Amino acid sequence: MSKVATPDASGPLITVDKVNKHFGPAHVLHDVTTHFNAGEVTVILGASGSGKSTLLRMLNRLERHDSGRIVVDGIEVDDDLKHLDALRAEVGMVFQQFNLFPHLTVLENVTLAPRRVRKTPRAQAEVKALELLDRVGLKAHSHKHPFALSGGQQQRVAIARSLAMEPRVLLFDEPTSALDPEMVKEVLDVMKGLAGSGMTMIVVTHEMGFAREVSDRVLFLDKGTVAADAPPEQFFGAQTSDRIRAFLGQISK
């Protein structure tokens, strides 16, 4: 499974060019231009309402951008259904609320997409799923339904479910925000393991420890613009921006 990413010679894996987004009168993203490289772990930080989740959700078109351009691994992110299906098979997503399918067992949750989208035979998909569940420490729970698992366990299943599609990039939308404190670590540990295996990850989070330790790059959004883009040592080090110092002060309280 561990896909050691080779830096893409032809350019970044994801480019975001002058993207704007409005929700009614609110202008949530302002001419955002950035890119994400293969094999990199990027953490997106920002106050609530800064547009960080919106930016993440636009990368696999759960939100549409009003103007500008997003290209993921050569796929134009637009309304073309062929583009959308190709895009979503390559981009995995882990949600704050886990969003496991409650009527299916853990094993069925993980095998559903490979069987339907990649047409993997059931037996093969199950072998692969059990491997992934083993990797997130939940092989013994494969026959259970999601309601019987704790939040941390559910989130680990959700990660395994995304990995089953062998995505080129994994998006995390506040993956630990809905968890009890004692379960945050088990999920972060799985994410650290993934980062170590070379997975390209873009993570919206408030876990400063994770950002500092694991990320290659911190993107700070403020009022819909990229206010900082720096390696974590620099971002958390001698910070010159008052706005960012204030934000970090708020978080550490």
Partner 1 sequence: MATAAIKVWPASWDRKQRSSATMVTASVVLVLLLWLLAIPLSWAPEPIGNNAQFFAEGTRVTVELTAVAALAGVLIGVLAALGKTSKLPPLRWIASAYIWVIRGTPLLVQVLFVFFALPVIIPALQMSDFTSACVALSFNVGAYNAEAIRAGLLAVPKGQMEAARSLGLSTFYTFIDVTFPQAFKISLPPLVNNIVALLKDSSLAYAIGVVELTNVGNRIQAATFQPLPILLTSASLYLLLTTVMTQFSNAVERRFDVEGRQS
Q: Which residues bind partner 1 (CB under 8 A)?
A: 60, 62, 85, 88-89, 91-93, 95, 97, 99-103, 112-113, 116-117, 145, 147, 158, 161-162, 165
Of 175 and 232, nearer to partner 1 (C-beta) is 175
Q: Is 93 exposed, middle or buried (0-12, 13-18, 19+ CB in 10 A)?
A: buried
Nearest approach, Cβ of residue 167 and partner 1 (Å)? 9
Of 106 and 138, nearer to partner 1 (C-beta) is 106
How far apart are the two ends of the chain, measured CA to CA in Å? Answer: 39
What is the DSSP pairing of strand 169-173 with strand 91-94? parallel
Nearest approach, Cβ of residue 103 and partner 1 (Å)? 5
Nearest approach, Cβ of residue 87 and partner 1 (Å)? 8
Q: Could you tell me the two tokens for 202?
A: 């873009």
Nearest approach, Cβ of residue 64 and partner 1 (Å)? 13
Q: Is 43 exposed, middle or buried (0-12, 13-18, 19+ CB in 10 A)?
A: buried
Strand partners, 71: 15, 76
Q: Is 6 exposed, middle or buried (0-12, 13-18, 19+ CB in 10 A)?
A: exposed
Of 149 and 228, nearer to partner 1 (C-beta) is 149
Of 55 and 226, nearer to partner 1 (C-beta) is 55
Of 167 and 232, nearer to partner 1 (C-beta) is 167
Of 59 and 71, nearer to partner 1 (C-beta) is 59
Nearest approach, Cβ of residue 97 and partner 1 (Å)? 5
Nearest approach, Cβ of residue 207 and partner 1 (Å)? 21
Provide DSSP, 172-227.
Answer: EESTTTTS-HHHHHHHHHHHHHHHHTT-EEEEE---HHHHHHH-SEEEEEETTEEE
